[in-house]
Structure 1
Amino acid sequence: MKRKPSEQEGTPSKRAPRQDPVSCELCRRKKLKCNRQQPCSSCVTRQLPCSYGASVSSSNISHDQPADSTRDTKAISDESRVPTANIVVARSDGQISRDRNESVMTADWLEKIVLGDRVPTGMRATRRGLNEPSKADVKSPGQAVAGNPLSISWTASSENPATVQLPSFLPKKAEAMTLFQYYNKYIDYLYHIILPDRVKEQIDAIYQAIKDQEQLNLNHLALLFSIIASSLFLQLSIESSVHAEACSREYIFLTGAALMQSNYSAYPTIEGLQAMLIVAHNLSNTNCHPSVRAVFVHGAIVSQAKSLMLHCIDSPQFEKKADADMMEVELKRRLWWDLASYDWLLGFLSGPQENTYLIHPDHMNVQRLANIDDTIPDSKEEHSLPTSTPTKMSYSLERLKLAEVCREIVDAIAYENLRGREVSYDKILELDRKLRQAYDFPAFFRLDSVSRHQYASLYHHRPAIAWQRCLLHQAYHSRLCRLHRQYLIRGARDPTYSYSHVVCLQSARKVLEIKRIMDDDEPTFMPPSSVVWSVMHHVFMAAVILLMDVCFNWDDILADKRKEEVLDACRMLSKAQQSSSTVREGINAMMEVLQKHWKVSSSKQSAVASSPVINSMEMGNLARDLSPTTESQTADLKPSLTDLPSSAMDGTGETLEDIWTEMLDSSGNLSFDTPDWTGLLTELTNATVSY
């Protein structure tokens, strides 16, 4: 039946003809999204002429920014501009479980949360992302100016790393240089593995190549992306760890994509290795996209360094030419020793790499680091300055000394640890002696009042040295504490191990003292030390050591003074919670686990107290039962989140102090029938942490 004409009115009989293209010629050719302005944002970013062709009249070009524009081209301020990330983050939360009967279980668990961007995956999924942190009171130089954010609505990691158009994700040159300067001032002093003047020339070359429409050096591009990732993560972590994680994820992906497109695995370069090391040092490569994750695995970095023959720079078969660039050779030594130090330090930390390392000292021939800045003196024969002269490499030299001792510790105790045997206490004392021998710093790295006054002017002109001084002392005291902590409780009751008990307490107190120096002394840490999770990790570890000692000696004559000492450390953590969302999430995650197991142990002890007469054998069985072995056994003991105070996870200083006070007040009810806190702390080792 035919339809009436009136019913067909307004219904087109066929598709309207296709309109002329409205994107500019560059965006059409490169298949980029054009915002249709004159000039468009893509051409402005690349500093290229923007042409729409004769077929498109100027009246067809919209000068209004569309809602779905992919890039905002507003200029950043002179200090910096930090992206307010609207990136969709796709995460996969992995879980690992470790079952070890050691007395160091609390510390092992805490050491697994070393980087801030690992913390959210160590928290329950129902808690992640629920409480978006408010704007922090503490701001670092280079932080975004309110009202002038760079709105990021693109997701690079959704594309194929082998074909993604890398130049399209470059920031404007002014932005890139600002982030590079931020990296030089606040990040590079820890791992000085670049030559700033050389990298600046490489960044200039990148943008010049874009302007001239020439081919880019993808390894230089990877290095720039890694620097941007590090700078943005540190800046954004102050306000929002979610945004910091999202931005770093995108730029790590771009770093990996640039390396893949350059065929870096087959043709490695120094710049590519620098990019990999920057990601490994400053970011969590486990958070990056799976398509590029393998690029940043520690073993892959070591393999690429060996492909560059860095492990045999000074072997006779590789004689250096008379006209060789000696600073280039020294840079290669820096990269190798930085990687070796990193490898050996990892061997004495909890995780899958514990008790092992990849670089053996007998399988390399590389001269020691020269104590110089970034230029070779006129005398090339002996260009290294005395260690008493502060340089950019002074910190790296001391870090290498610590790493070598950590390697010796692994060599000495790995055999017993991997077989579940107790290490001889005489061996522990010998390793303690080696650590203390390495704890002999140049005068400008010492913390005594005389040295601090003597080098006050040096710290004012070179604040990085003052910061390195504090970080070095924290690192040494943390390792000393780790070496002895399995004897902390045992040493309080057995004079044979009393030295370890004293060392643990002294080291914990020293870590807290160093944190006070960071906060109170000049020059002030920038960014503040309270926003750096690795620093606050040491503080939390020290607080737990002191807490354990108070709980074991709860009836000591100095118990009240020790409780106040613990609460002082708790107040440091409370202050840090208010300074950084990343630190807040880390502390909340650890407090949730710690408080939960504290209550479990208390309920177990209450059951013991209410039971009839229990003989020694039954008490021993009960002590072993304090460690849940099956999921069904654990289910009845675990308090739910509703059992905790509603504000236990909100990061307020008062609540955190209340929780620690409650634990201190209930310490007399805890059971310490075994030499260690195995019963209370076993499940802490099995906490859900993503690697």
Structure 2
Amino acid sequence: MGRQPRQRPISCHLCRVRKLRCSRQFPCSNCTSRGVVCQHEGVAVAAPAAGSRPPVESPAVKDMSTMDLLARLERLESIVAAQGRERTEPPPSQRETPKNESERSAHPSPATVSRPVPPRLQRLTADALQLERSCSDQVLTDSLISDPIIFRTCPIRLAPGQPPYTFQNPSFQNNHAPSMVGPMDVVKCIWLPQRDEMRVILQKYIVDISLFYHIVHVPSLQSLVEDIYAGLEANVRVDVGGVLLLLSICASTTYAWSPPDDIRCLFANSAEANGQSTFWIKQALDVIGHSQKTAHASLECIQGLIILFFVFCNHESVSFRARNVFMYAISMATELLLHRIDDPTASSMPTLVRMSEAKKEIGRRVWWFMVATDWTLAQFSCPQEGVYLIHKHQMAVNKPRNTNDEDVIEGVDIIDRPETEATCMSYFVQRIRLAEVCRALLDRTPLGTQASESIAYQDILDVDAKLNKFIQNAPSFFSVNYPGLDELPATDIRRSLFITAQRYMLNLLVHRQLCKIHLPYLAQGTIDPAYAYSRDACLRSARIVFELDHQLQNENLPFFRSRLRLSMVLRSVFLASIALVLNACLTGDAEDTTEGEDEVAGAWKILHEVQDQFPPAAKLLELSIKILRKYKIKHRALDLLQQQVSGIAPYNNSFPMTPESANQEIRMSSVQQNIGTETENVLLEQHWQMLEGKMDLNTIDWDKLFWGIDAPFI
């Protein structure tokens, strides 16, 4: 019998080399415990991790080597890649040929089907990106650039007389580290009203002011007040952003304080309250300076900045100071990632992770209000005219829901109610839609480009159509002629005071915008039928502005007494007055009607009522009367104004019509002191020729025409 061939070893390579007892079930237990590849006659079997169950393999896979599997996968990938290139590559005639082979190698195209990145490489990449982000988060030590600040309370009527600085010792722990203050250091002191007084101020703000820019969550705001005053009473650190919010509310509320508010018994009269507004503005500015030095950023701080921005607008129009506060609010909002609240790629960022769903909803309100304000500001006659800062493609934020504050609760799903249902956010939602229409006009006319007259006018007509469509699509309870409103029960929210005030304000904004875009064509519309529509539309919107004012007066709302202290209301009245006076000068004596004369007189009466509160109103009234007296010396509106308003001063003083005429007047005053009236008449005649259509009306700068009243018109 011949020699039998040697039997194949049944132990794996590791067990044979180290003379171990092999379990003969591959991978064997020895290889598994050591975490090495179990090799058996050329077949390498990876050992599973310790503690894990070995995978169940099919017979076909068990007999196939790892190298064979990898080879098959590579062949499959190459086939799929080739098929993908055939579908995506253009024909040879349309392909772009590189200039040379080196250019092709310098810009390799990524593979159509990329291989999966191992977890280890993913972790390394994530760590590298995190390190890169951390390099930009360098923070200066607050103690190096900021001074300590403390907050105290006193009776609100005594607050303006309190010292702005106080002596401080190290034992006081409010808002600074003990080691930062010496035994008798002089520290900036910010004064707040007493707790009960702050509650009254807050109630006034919620009822009469917040309804036009509802960027707060009332339950959270009320809790914030209690928390801040509890901290002040306990001499512990309080939130700087929360204090700024309260100071801004004080500034806004005292500015809007009217005689009906005297029953709240906080001030001797409304004049005393109005006089305190500038004090609270100064207090807020001091806190803003401290927040900038300490790099403070919070949602409450942004809310305070927005409210303070509107206070500045009411006091001094859209000034540089007002715009500076608003831009600071935008900068702080981006720091808090409010512009990425609903960005899936940013959901894991710590700033957003710490925000609850309720706070994110408030953040959406704050962000979208800044967006709407930014797009609207681009319509103002200021350095920002024609430019907005927030681009719609550079944010990922859903629009705020149409819901009441009571429905925004932690841990509860927020219900988005239909627009036809009135809520505290209804006006806000429509305000965003109106801002989108304003932005569309800016996008049609890029900055630095000048379209032909026909194209420019067609753009005006397109925007006019969008604004009228906006009015038609607005909820019915915002309609001026809402059918069946009087038949609703008194408890219906659609008859509430805040919906009534919002109805007035929303229609005022729309018709102000319509009046503004058609005003440059009003005079030309009297002689050119192509622009007759603009003349009619401008006058119709101007008349609606005053009709809205009369309707609001009949509603007997507390808001009516303070409405003319709001910058937007005043601007709308100014613009409507300009249109009516200009039309009165353009029409012939035979065209004058009693209705038109009453309209002009009514507009003048409103301007006379507010001239003590807002000096530009007096200047506009003066200019309007001068123009009408020059071209319609016997106009009935002049007599009506004298009858309606007793003791009106004669308007004989001259003031410049435009910046150019102002410079001319200054140059001539030194040599021609006695011809002021003649110079004024010449200037009026020059501008009147422009208004009669003897010059290119589209080139008239309407803001410069009324520059003499020191207020930009919108």
- TM bin, normalised by shorter chain, reads 0.5 to 0.7
Q: Residue 240 and residue 421 in structure 1: after superposition, are their counterparts in 2 closer, same or farther (change >3 A)?
A: farther
Q: Residue 154 and residue 524 in structure 1: after superposition, are their counterparts in 2 closer, same or farther (change >3 A)?
A: closer
Question: Is residue 485 of structure 2 the alignment partner of residue 452 of structure 1?
Answer: yes
1:207 is matched with 229
Q: Residue 255 and residue 31 in structure 1: after superposition, are their counterparts in 2 closer, same or farther (change >3 A)?
A: closer
3-state secondary structure, aligned to 1:384: coil
Aligned residue type for 1:298 = F
3-state secondary structure, aligned to 2:415: coil
Aligned residue type for 2:437 = V
Aligned residue type for 1:211 = E
Q: Say which is worse superposed, 510-519 or 347-356, in terms of deviation.
A: 347-356
Question: 2:674, 2:186 → 1: CA distance?
Answer: 44
Q: Residue 157 and residue 377 in structure 1: after superposition, are their counterparts in 2 closer, same or farther (change >3 A)?
A: closer
Deviation at 1:376, TM superposition (A): 3.4
TM-score by length of 2: 0.61
Q: 2:597 aligns with which of 558, 563, 586?
A: 563
Q: 2:464 aligns with which of 432, 451, 461?
A: 432
Question: Is residue 399 of structure 2 the alignment partner of residue 399 of structure 1?
Answer: no
Deviations 1:357-414 (A, max 9, x none): 0000011111121010112389966720011111111000000011000011111124
Q: Residue 428 and residue 549 in structure 1: after superposition, are their counterparts in 2 closer, same or farther (change >3 A)?
A: same
Q: Which runs of 5+ in 2 are unaligned?
A: 1-147, 168-174, 177-184, 261-267, 634-656, 678-683
3-state secondary structure, aligned to 1:356: coil
1:317 is matched with 345
1:58 is matched with none
Deviation at 1:478, TM superposition (A): 0.6
Q: Say which is worse superposed, 417-426 or 459-468, in terms of deviation.
A: 417-426
TM-score by length of 1: 0.63
1:687 is matched with 708
Q: Residue 679 and residue 293 in structure 1: after superposition, are their counterparts in 2 closer, same or farther (change >3 A)?
A: closer
Question: 2:703, 2:236 → 1: CA distance?
Answer: 59
Q: Say which is worse superposed, 586-595 or 361-370, in terms of deviation.
A: 586-595
1:345 is matched with 376
1:588 is matched with 618
Question: 1:242, 1:640 → 2: CA distance?
Answer: 40
Question: 2:532, 2:669 → 1: CA distance?
Answer: 34
Deviation at 1:194, TM superposition (A): 1.1
Deviations 1:136-195 (A, max 9, x none): xxxxxxxxxxxxxx4732474999x99985655122212122111111111111111111
Question: 1:164, 1:342 → 2: CA distance?
Answer: 40
Question: Is residue 257 of structure 2 the alignment partner of residue 235 of structure 1?
Answer: yes
Q: Which runs of 5+ in 1 are unaligned?
A: 1-29, 33-41, 47-70, 74-80, 84-149, 604-624, 645-662
1:462 is matched with 496
Q: Say which is worse superposed, 526-535 or 495-504, in terms of deviation.
A: 526-535
Contact 1:302 1:339 in 2 (8 A): yes
Deviation at 1:685, TM superposition (A): 4.7
2:200 is matched with 178
Deviation at 1:424, TM superposition (A): 2.3
Q: Residue 446 and residue 690 in structure 1: after superposition, are their counterparts in 2 closer, same or farther (change >3 A)?
A: closer
Question: Is residue 160 of structure 2 the alignment partner of residue 152 of structure 1?
Answer: yes
Q: Residue 194 and residue 519 in structure 1: after superposition, are their counterparts in 2 closer, same or farther (change >3 A)?
A: same
Contact 2:373 2:435 in 1 (8 A): yes
Contact 1:305 1:311 in 2 (8 A): yes
The number of equivalent residue pairs is 503
1:88 is matched with none
Identity rate, percent: 24
Q: Say which is worse superposed, 520-529 or 218-227, in terms of deviation.
A: 520-529
Contact 2:616 2:709 in 1 (8 A): no
Contact 1:256 1:295 in 2 (8 A): no
The residue correspondences of 1:635-654 to structure 2 (distance < 5 A) are: none
1:278 is matched with 307
Deviation at 1:471, TM superposition (A): 0.5
Q: Residue 443 and residue 688 in structure 1: after superposition, are their counterparts in 2 closer, same or farther (change >3 A)?
A: closer
Deviation at 1:525, TM superposition (A): 3.2
The residue correspondences of 1:72-83 to structure 2 (distance < 5 A) are: 73=155, 83=157
Question: Is residue 273 of structure 2 the alignment partner of residue 253 of structure 1?
Answer: no
Question: 1:400, 1:351 → 2: CA distance?
Answer: 22
Question: 1:602, 1:255 → 2: CA distance?
Answer: 49
Deviation at 1:540, TM superposition (A): 2.8
Q: Residue 490 and residue 217 in structure 1: after superposition, are their counterparts in 2 closer, same or farther (change >3 A)?
A: same
Q: Residue 683 and residue 254 in structure 1: after superposition, are their counterparts in 2 closer, same or farther (change >3 A)?
A: closer
Aligned residue type for 1:563 = E
> What RMSD in Å do the two structures reach over aligned CA positions?
4.6
Deviation at 1:421, TM superposition (A): 7.5
Deviation at 1:438, TM superposition (A): 1.7
Kindly indicate whether structure 1 or structure 2 has the higher relative contact order, using CA contacts under 8 Å at least 6 residues apart: 1
Q: Say which is worse superposed, 592-601 or 178-187, in terms of deviation.
A: 592-601
Deviations 1:6-33 (A, max 9, x none): xxxxxxxxxxxxxxxxxxxxxxxx999x
Question: 1:294, 1:474 → 2: CA distance?
Answer: 23
1:370 is matched with 401
Contact 2:165 2:189 in 1 (8 A): no
Contact 2:553 2:560 in 1 (8 A): no
Question: 1:551, 1:254 → 2: CA distance?
Answer: 47
Question: 1:360, 1:218 → 2: CA distance?
Answer: 30
Deviation at 1:265, TM superposition (A): 6.7
Aligned residue type for 2:486 = H
Question: 1:438, 1:164 → 2: CA distance?
Answer: 57
